[in-house]
Structure formats: structure tokens, C-alpha cells
Homo-oligomer: A and B are copies of this chain.
Amino acid sequence: MRCRKCGEKACINMRQHKLALCKTHFLDWVPDQVEHAIKKYSMFTHHDRLLVAVSGGKDSLSLWDILRHLGYSADGLYIGLGIDDSVSYSDKSLEYTRRFAQEQNLMLHIVDIKAEYGETITAVAMRTHRGHYKPCSVCGLVKRHEMNRIAHQNNYSVLLTGHNLDDETAILFGNTINWLGNYLIHQSPVLEANKLGLARKVKPLCRIYEREMAAYALLRGINYIHEECPFSIDSTSIYHKELLNNLETDRPGAKLNFYLSFLRAKKDGLFSSATDENAELLHACSECGQPTTAPGLCAFCRMFVST
């Protein structure tokens, strides 16, 4: 297999694009694709103040790397959740993130949930019984809240996350197989800034396969945490990823087509906007000021402040 651009030995073959590339051209191609998505979905410009949520994994660290490569200046945000199993998942992931920031001379905000609020997310999940066995719903809630808080307090206009195409299609598949209308309507590469002061949220890697992101991190020599979050094992989203991987093997391009045809159908007006009326009914939380559906405390503050 030869590189389509230069004829040298290819290091990756992307069947869905009918494209094989050598290391040099692949390491140019990925940032080009990301820049294309940034422009196509009007995610941000060089004038925006960017904050990347970094977890120490391949996607978020590579995104940070790609942004630098593209000439965007972006700061990082690491949220220490206190996931402390046998491998000390949170400690390790912070270590990878901190080292990357230091080596690249990048500004990193670190929030430690336990230091800030007195409890790790696993402890909160146990106390509130929200997670039963797993703290995943608490984790999502805490991350959303803290990303918004730090972005707001530091005047970032755009929040970036490292969701890749496999993440997005797994979420989309879960929303579709259960026809969760409200989630389908809101799934997008860009969530616009909210009137109540939330930064715009964007996913610049949304068109890049997970496999390509892993190859990018490897070829760029980025050191990242290889372990998955211990709570993600046996999760529905991993089950859906496997199902979509099988589909992709049989029908190369199926994942990309699933995602892009969804975005196209949405843009063409498939969904009724009437379903989204509750967006107008958001209130500011009386404690933190972040949007919530009912007057009073938001779900995050109910969880922490009411203790």
C-alpha cells in the first residue's frame, strides 16, 4: 500500500475514504480535516478564547496538539474526578495531562472535585444513590458544570471537547435506537452559547474515526493514558461502539455516513422545532447561576450544596 500523495510506503489505509497515507502526509491530513470541520460548522475563529477539556486520553491531548499545529492558542482544563480504582485512574490521567502541558508549554487549569467540594464523584454517587453501581451520570453532570464554571470565570468564549466520530455515532445510535427526541434534536458538533452565560461548546474531532485519532497520537509520539475509565467497561456506549464497528467492517464508511446524513437531515428540517420549546424555559440556578429547568437550585448544586 502506497501513500496517495507521495508514493512512499503508507502507514495507514482509511477504507472509508479510499485513502492510504504515509506518516508525514497523515500527520498533515488529520489537522486539515479538523480545520475543515472547524470552518464548516463555524466552531470558532482565531479571535476566540479557547478552552479544551483534557482528560489525558488520546483524543483530548491530540486535539490540543492539533490546535497548536493549526495556530490556535488554547488553554486546557483537567477535572480531577477522584476515580481511584486499582490503577489510580484519575492520578495517572492527570500525570499524562500535566506532562503534556509542561512539554508543550501550555496553560492548564486543574480542578480537583474533592478539594473543591469535599467529595469525589464516586462518593457523591454512593451518597445520592444516583449511580447505583456506577457514578457515570454524576460524572457527566459534574464535568458539564465545572467546564461551564471555569470557562465563565475565565472568560473563555468556546469550550472544546475531544469527542471523535466513534463517540458521536455511539451516542447517536443510543439516542436513535430508543428514539430519544430531545437528545436527537440537541446532538450537534456545535452547541451555541446560552443566553444565561454558557460558552459555546464544540467537537472539532467529530468527523475523525477513533482509529485515526489513535494513529495520530501514536505517530506524533503523544503519551496518553491507554486504560479506559474503569466504569466504562460493559457500558451501553461501548456495546454500541462494537456494534457500529462490525457494521463499519462490513460497510466501510457506514459510521461517517450515519453521522453526516443525520446532520444533513437535521439541517434540512427533519425535526420539528416545536419539541425544543423548553429551551426557552431555562432559569438561572440561585446558587451558581448556571441554567436549570426549574427555578431554585440546579442539579449540581442540589447534589453538593444541600449536604
* Distance in angstroms between the alpha carbons of A150 and B176 in the assembled complex: 38
- A181 surroundings in chain B (CB, below 8 A): 265, 268, 270
Interface core residue of A176, A185, A243, A246 (most chain B CB under 10 Å): A176
Judge whether A247 and B257 touch: CB under 8 Å.
no
A225 within 8 A of B: no
A89 within 8 A of B: no
Please encode chain A, from 287 to 303, with 1 for each CB lying within 8 Å of some chain B CB and 0 for all others: 00000000000000000
Residue of B nearest to A272 (CB): B272
Interface core residue of A261, A262, A270 (most chain B CB under 10 Å): A270
Judge whether A239 and B250 touch: CB under 8 Å.
yes
Asked if A177 meets B254 with Cβ closer than 8 Å, knowing A243-B243, A243-B247, A247-B243, the reply is: yes
Please encode chain A, from 252 to 265, with 1 for each CB lying within 8 Å of some chain B CB and 0 for all others: 00100110011011
Candidates B178, B243, B272; contact of A269 at CB < 8 Å: B272
CB-contacts of A170-201 with B (<8 A): 176-181, 184-185
A231 within 8 A of B: no
- A246 surroundings in chain B (CB, below 8 A): 243
A275 within 8 A of B: yes
* Distance in angstroms between the alpha carbons of A247 and B185 in the assembled complex: 25
Rounded to whole Å, the gap between the CB of A90 and the closest CB of chain B is: 31
Rounded to whole Å, the gap between the CB of A249 and the closest CB of chain B is: 12
Copies of this protein in the assembly total 2
Residue of B nearest to A236 (CB): B251
Residue of B nearest to A250 (CB): B239
- A264 surroundings in chain B (CB, below 8 A): 179
- A177 surroundings in chain B (CB, below 8 A): 247, 254, 257-258
Judge whether B243 and A178 touch: CB under 8 Å.
no
Judge whether B261 and A270 touch: CB under 8 Å.
no
- A272 surroundings in chain B (CB, below 8 A): 269-273
Judge whether B275 and A269 touch: CB under 8 Å.
yes
A274 within 8 A of B: yes
Please encode chain A, from 150 to 179, with 1 for each CB lying within 8 Å of some chain B CB and 0 for all others: 000000000000000000000000001111
Candidates B179, B265, B269; contact of A265 at CB < 8 Å: B179
Judge whether B271 and A178 touch: CB under 8 Å.
no
Rounded to whole Å, the gap between the CB of A247 and the closest CB of chain B is: 7
Judge whether B261 and A178 touch: CB under 8 Å.
yes
* Distance in angstroms between the alpha carbons of A68 and B37 in the assembled complex: 58
Interface core residue of A179, A258, A264, A275 (most chain B CB under 10 Å): A179
- A250 surroundings in chain B (CB, below 8 A): 239
* Distance in angstroms between the alpha carbons of A264 and B246 in the assembled complex: 29
* Distance in angstroms between the alpha carbons of A180 and B268 in the assembled complex: 11
* Distance in angstroms between the alpha carbons of A270 and B268 in the assembled complex: 14
Judge whether B262 and A270 touch: CB under 8 Å.
no
